Structure formats: structure tokens, C-alpha cells
Amino acid sequence: MLGKVAKNVGLAPWELAYQRQQREATRTLFSRSQFKKEKARRVVVGDEEARRVIVTRSGHRPHLFSENQTIELDGR
């Protein structure tokens, strides 16, 4: 019974924030949607100017940009 209870207990908000910070510390490139949702920034260059293009197993081709290719969103 104790095992079931432990599975339902999530991490504290500060633990989630710390994990997110650790993941982002090593990453320097993000997609357009990641910049918009997570960083409140907008990419200001075209896809052809992406720093890196990745082809995933499912065939998607995300374009990755650095922070110097973005501007801060207004109203946030």
C-alpha cells in the first residue's frame, strides 16, 4: 500500500524548477515554440537562419535557434 502512495506523490514546485534549470543549463539552442512557451521570447530570424536543424526519428525537422536570435515578448 505504501508503494502506491509514494507513486502518486509528485515533486515539490521548487524541485521541478530546479530540474528544469539543470536541463536548460546545458542547452543553448531551443525551437521557436520552446522560446515562446518557456522563455517568453520570440525568434526574429527566418528558418533558413537556424543555428541547427535536427531530423527526429519520426521525420520532424525542428529548427533550433540561440537566444541572440530572439527578442523578449511584449506584455509579459
Q: What is the pTM of this model?
A: 0.61
Number of domains in the chain: 1
Helix, strand, coil share (%) of the chain residues, nearest 5: 45, 15, 40
Distance CA 65, CA 73 (A): 16
Confidence of residue 56 (pLDDT cuts 50, 70, 90): confident
For residue 34, the enclosing domain spans: 2-72
- Report which of residues 26 and 68 the model is more confident about: 68
DSSP 47: G
What's the half-sphere exposure (Cβ side, CA atoms, 13 Å) at 18?
A: 5
pLDDT at 40: 92
